[in-house]
Amino acid sequence: MAFLSVKNLNKKFSKEGVKPLTALDSINLDIEKEEFISLVGPSGCGKTTLLRIIAGLEEPTSGEILLEGNKIQGPDPERGMVFQEYSLFPWLNIIDNIAFGPEMKGIGKEERRERAAEYIDIVNLEGFENSYPHELSGGMRQRVAIARALANAPKLLLMDEPFGALDAQTRNRMQHELLDIHEKTRKTVIFVTHSVDEAVFLSDRVVILGTRPGRIREIVEIDLPEGKKRERTDPEFIRLRKYILSQISDNPQEH
Ligand SMILES: Nc1ncnc2c1ncn2[C@@H]1O[C@H](COP(=O)(O)OP(=O)(O)OP(=O)(O)O)[C@@H](O)[C@H]1O
């Protein structure tokens, strides 16, 4: 049994008087525990819709998703979501932002602060515990958002274009940090991105969603050295990146 199993998933958006739009068509996908999976494809191919259905924020029209054999129904902190806009609480300092989920679960102050401190350490934000979100850079805020999702002890981390709003240099640094976080926590990650370069750099497998909207076109294994040893200049990296780009026929917005 796969850790996460997407079975025959279909999603149609219907509005009165308008022809229904098929956003996802017969999606089947098995994901193993600890895997890092990216979803790529042209704009409108259904990446965000698939992620939102896995998050439980959207209902499929038919089909189902099983997490460790249990059908997903509605949102749950066991599936932590990180968005492009950091959605931090501006009135809470960093440690309380991170401890928010555990607080909602009724975990006592000391324990949740301990847990938050552990994740502050993992995302390298020691010393910023008492700062407020507006006092941090974009990359740092995104690290808080990742720590906040992790503090709920999720089984799955769902990331929707999390580095899309960052400048190129910060984005590059965040990619290295995310690999590092993945190595430390071994969380299963599903990562939506427009950037094929980013997907190849981060992932164990890249799922290409089709030019025919909403279908899986191909799943590409990224057989590169683990962790920080990944090099963009590696000929295999360049070959995989070119190959995936050639499979995305619409213009990807960046690469
Ligand atoms: N709430 C909605 N109501 C109607 N149509 C929707 C809704 N959400 C998404 N769609 C449509 O479903 C299709 C898939 O959208 P989705 O946002 O999942 O694509 P995407 O691959 O994430 O796109 P992008 O790369 O531009 O973010 C698009 O045609 C979109 O217009």
State residue 101's pLDDT score: 86
Question: Is there a domain that residue 11 lies in?
Answer: no
User: At residue 77, does pLDDT exceed 50?
Assistant: yes
The model's pTM is 0.92
State residue 253's pLDDT score: 46
Distance 224 CA to ligand 1 centre (A): 31
| CB-ligand 1 contact for 49 (6 Å cutoff) | yes
Question: Is there a domain that residue 144 lies in?
Answer: yes
Q: What's the DSSP call for residue 210?
A: P
User: At residue 251, does pLDDT exceed 70?
Assistant: no
State residue 252's pLDDT score: 47
| CB-ligand 1 contact for 48 (6 Å cutoff) | yes
As given in the structure block, the two tokens for residue 29 are 């996908």
Domain count, the chain: 1
pLDDT confidence bin for 229, thresholds 50/70/90: low
Q: Kindly report the average pLDDT of the chain as a whole number.
A: 89
Q: Residue 204 belongs to what H/E stretch?
A: none
Question: Is there a domain that residue 142 lies in?
Answer: yes
Beta bridge partners of 39: 192, 207
Question: Is there a domain that residue 124 lies in?
Answer: yes
Q: Which residue has the higher pLDDT, 156 or 83?
A: 156
Question: Using one digit for the tens of pLDDT, what is the confidence trace for 48-68?
Answer: 999 999 999 999 999 999 999
Question: Is there a domain that residue 119 lies in?
Answer: yes
User: At residue 255, does pLDDT exceed 70?
Assistant: no
| Ligand 1 atom showing the smallest separation from residue 49 Cα | 18
Question: Using one digit for the tens of pLDDT, what is the confidence trace for 129-148?
Answer: 999 999 998 889 989 999 99
| Ligand 1 atom showing the smallest separation from residue 51 Cα | 18
Distance 193 CA to ligand 1 centre (A): 14
Residues with Cβ within 8 Å of 208's Cβ and at least 6 positions away in sequence, in order, are 40, 41, 216, 217, 218, 219, 220, 244, 247, 248
Residue-range definition of the domain harbouring residue 135: 86-153
Contact 101, 148 (CB under 8 A): yes
| CB-ligand 1 contact for 43 (6 Å cutoff) | yes
Which of 15, 16, 21 should be mutated for ligand 1, with most atoms under 8 A from CB? 21
State residue 136's pLDDT score: 93
Question: Is there a domain that residue 128 lies in?
Answer: yes
Question: Is there a domain that residue 73 lies in?
Answer: no
Contact 94, 136 (CB under 8 A): yes
| CB-ligand 1 contact for 59 (6 Å cutoff) | no
Question: Is there a domain that residue 106 lies in?
Answer: yes
Question: Using one digit for the tens of pLDDT, what is the confidence trace for 171-220?
Answer: 898 899 899 889 889 999 999 999 999 999 999 999 999 867 789 999 99
Q: CA nearest 189: which of 160, 228, 218?
A: 160
Cα separation values, 133 from 165, 175, 252, Å: 16, 21, 32
| CB-ligand 1 contact for 131 (6 Å cutoff) | no
As given in the structure block, the two tokens for residue 85 are 């806009």
Measure CA of the first residue to CA of the last residue in the chain; give whole Å.
Answer: 34
Torsion angle, CA of 145/150/154/155, rounded to 10 degrees? 110
